Amino acid sequence: MSRDLPTIRELLDDASRALAEPFSRAALISWISARRPDVAVASIAHHIQLATANVPGREGVGPAPLLYRVERGRYRRYRLGLEESLPADEAHRVVLVGSSGALAASPRPAAEIFESEQFARARRHAVESGQPWFVLSARHGLLDPADVVDPFALLFGDQPADYRAAWAERVAGQLAERVRLSGAIVEVHGGVDFVQALRGPLARRGARTEIALPDTWDEPPVHDEADHEHRARAALGKLFALVSRH
């Protein structure tokens, strides 16, 4: 990056002063994208999370906050000393997106290194959730979405039990450095191999693990009971057929 270009944090600081309060997440992203079109939306969204005082799990993590979330998707500039409790309707939730599918041919941010539709949908869900989110890598462990990594071919499901156990302890430790795990719900996308490995280490740190079913993130609400059962069975079938091997 050229030294003449402002950092995303600097642009967030400028945007929080320039935009009328309360401003939307979309307005923040648009404001920054117009000035740094080279930066992916997923990376900007991650910086917004890091800069928000009352994002679930952020307490005591990272540099001084720049933003305060007043409701889902809407923010104001952070002001020291004002009420800093979490919004009442927010769950203490973290989203992990597992490595999945074809790899890019050159180094990319972790949010862009996998090119499968499954990974893209899970990433979109994570970004739109407004919750802290990270990428799970069979080789690197836990990655921030903006971390640039080389393409790698390592199948998590093919690794011996000792490797998977050590990997899970490492990831749980990395996650604990970034968010508060006590009382958290850790939502895992990418297959049961990751969930099975992580469940124990996360539970020992006070977190509960949830696995996301394939093909349910973008579906509208279903009111017909028979149709709902059919969709649930189809999603479960795809889950077990898809078991992550990364």
Q: What is the pLDDT of residues 131-161, one digit of tens each?
A: 889 999 888 899 988 888 887 777 787 889 9
- State both tokens at 101: 């599918």
Question: Are 64 and 173 within one domain?
Answer: no
Residue 193 · residue 209 · CB < 8 Å? no
Question: Which of 34, 52, 77 corresponds to the end of one domain?
Answer: 77
Tens-place pLDDT, residues 178-229 = 887 878 899 999 878 888 999 999 998 888 898 876 544 443 334 444 444 5
More confident residue, 101 or 129: 129
Beta bridge pairs of residue 76: 68
Residues 204 and 129 in one domain: yes
Question: Do 64 and 20 fall into the same domain?
Answer: yes
In this structure, the answer to whether residues 121 and 188 fall within a common structural domain is: yes
Q: Is residue 161 part of a domain?
A: yes
| Same domain, residue pair 187 and 154 | yes
Question: Is the residue at 123 inside a domain?
Answer: yes
Distance of CA 41 to the CA centre of its chain: 13
Q: What's the pLDDT score for residue 93? A: 85
Mean pLDDT of 118-143: 88
| 52 and 133 housed in the same domain | no
Angle at 197 between CA 193 and CA 202, to 5 degrees: 135
Asked if 60 and 98 sit in the same domain, the reply is no
Residue 138 belongs to domain spanning: 93-242
**For 89-109, what is each residue's pLDDT tens digit?**
444 789 999 877 677 778 888
Q: How many CB atoms lie within 10 A of CB 202?
A: 25
- Written as six digits, the tokens of 29 are 């992203």
Do 53 and 161 fall into the same domain? no
Is 83 among the domain residues? no
Q: Angle between the 41-51 and 8-18 helix axes, to the nearest 10 degrees?
A: 70
- Whether 207 and 177 share a structural domain: yes
| Angle at 111 (CA atoms; ends 20, 88), nearest 5 degrees | 50
Strand, coil or helix: 199:
helix
* Domain tally, the chain: 2
Give the pairing of strands 93-98 and 185-189.
Answer: parallel
- Distance, in Å, from the CA atom of 145 to the CA atom of 216, rounded to the nearest integer, reads 22
For residues 153 and 203, membership in a common domain is answered with: yes
Both 12 and 120 in one domain: the answer is: no
Q: What beta strand segments (E) does 86-162 contain?
A: 93-98, 108-109, 133-137, 141-143, 148-149
Last residue of a domain, one of 52, 77, 102: 77
Residue 53 lies in a domain: yes
pLDDT at 228: 45
Among residues 199, 206, 143, 201, which one has the least CA distance to residue 169? 201
**β 133-137/74-77 pair status:** unpaired
The enclosing domain of 135 has a CATH number of 3.40.50
Is this model's pTM higher than 0.85 or not?
no
> In terms of domains, do 38 and 133 share one?
no
